Amino acid sequence: MMKLNINFYKKMLLLLILSLNVSMFGQAKPKVLILATGGTIAGSAKTGVQSGYTSGQVTIDAMVNAIPDALKVADIKGEQIANVGSQDMSFEIMLKVANRINELANSNDVDGFVITHGTDTMEETAFFLNLTTKTDKPVVLVGSMRPSTAISADGPLNLYNAIAVAGDPKAKGRGVLLVMNDWIHSAQSLTKVSTTAVQTFMSPLRGLIGITSYGTNDFFNYPSQKFGKNSEFEVKGVSSFPRVDIIYADADMKPDLIDASIERGAKGIVIAGVGNGNMNKASLDACARASKKGIIVVRSTRVATGLVSRNVECNDDELGLIASYALNPQKSRILLSVALLKQRSLAELQKIFEEY
């Protein structure tokens, strides 16, 4: 009688059990790491019906515990990087987030990242991370317009959706994203347009990346500019950035603001210009003088939509200025701050503003 191969049957039984587990329970849940920085989403107020509140009062663990259904979507871990209102966001905190993401970019323990953040400067942090994080894994910023104690707080569902987006394989390779009020934005195109409305973010020039509804995602767009692994910017070991100031243009603008910025040590200046990045002659002359001193001057616009084109209303070639193209003043400042970590010519800087 043939002798039974016990080891063979043990292996077959194990394979059967594994196949049953897959069929019964599906694939393993994605692993999502939440890096918390504070903001309104972590804010609290004395009552549920008051507009005033204090940002950054709730820990990431408490926020996750408030949405237990999120644990069905992903395996979640949280780290408290900071707990501030985004008006107090700094390059120091941005660097901590970027370095932590880059540290774990190739780890099998993380499939996607969520960053909780206040909305006031969220577009700046999102754009900074888009320039400096070296991963195709989803990096998703999320916040809220109402504190956690509000009657109809928007934070819990926003966080739930952000976790679902960060764990979605279809979100890979789309750059840094922002999830708010069921919309998925690109860091390149989003901007805050309302002081109080829950639909505070819009992407007016290039449109949405997708939409999300109770954890079900629909992606229909990719960013067109450089980001992530294709970005040339490296911040490992960086501890500070050159000073770049934003100066707001208006009727009868005084050029001494430009001179004062230079005196205070600015290496770059972004003009939030009128119309197509324009300003009065006295200020243009001050910008030209600044450029001759080696100060980089970028023309952006205070207008909500539209490009700032080169050599249209101002002779950028003659004056030595940079046109911001699709970047608003705050994103122009972020890009210039990062770009000035390395010595670059005006032509190289202009190309950067075209590509990013």
Token pair listed for 162: 């952000």
Rounded Cα gap, residues 156 and 63, in angstroms = 7
Strand order, beta sheet including 176-180: 75-84, 31-38, 112-116, 139-142, 176-180, 183-186, 210-213, 216-219
Geometric angle at alpha carbon 306, from 340 and 292, rounded to 5°: 35
Retrieve residue 291's tokens.
């450029």
- SS (HEC) of the chain: CCCCCHHHHHHHHHHHHHHHHHHHHCCCCCEEEEEEEECHHHCECCCCCCCCCECCCCCHHHHHHCCCCHHHHCEEEEEEEEEECHHHCCHHHHHHHHHHHHHCCCCCCCCEEEEECCCCCHHHHHHHHHHHCCCCCCEEEECCCCCCCCCCCCHHHHHHHHHHHHCCHHHCCCCEEEEECCEEEECCCCEECCCCCCCCEECCCCCCCEEEECCEEEECCCCCCCCHHHCCCCCCCCCCCCCEEEEECCCCCCCHHHHHHHHCCCCEEEEEEECCCECCHHHHHHHHHHHHCCCEEEEEECCCCCCECCCCCCCHHHHCCEECECCCHHHHHHHHHHHCCCCCCHHHHHHHHHHC
Q: Under a CB-based contact definition with an 8 Å cutoff, are residues 93 and 82 in contact?
A: yes
Residue 47 is among the residues annotated as catalytic for this protein: no
The active-site residue out of 37, 40, 119, 133 is 40
Residue with tokens 């008051």, as numbered in its chain:
50
| Residues annotated catalytic, as ranges | 40
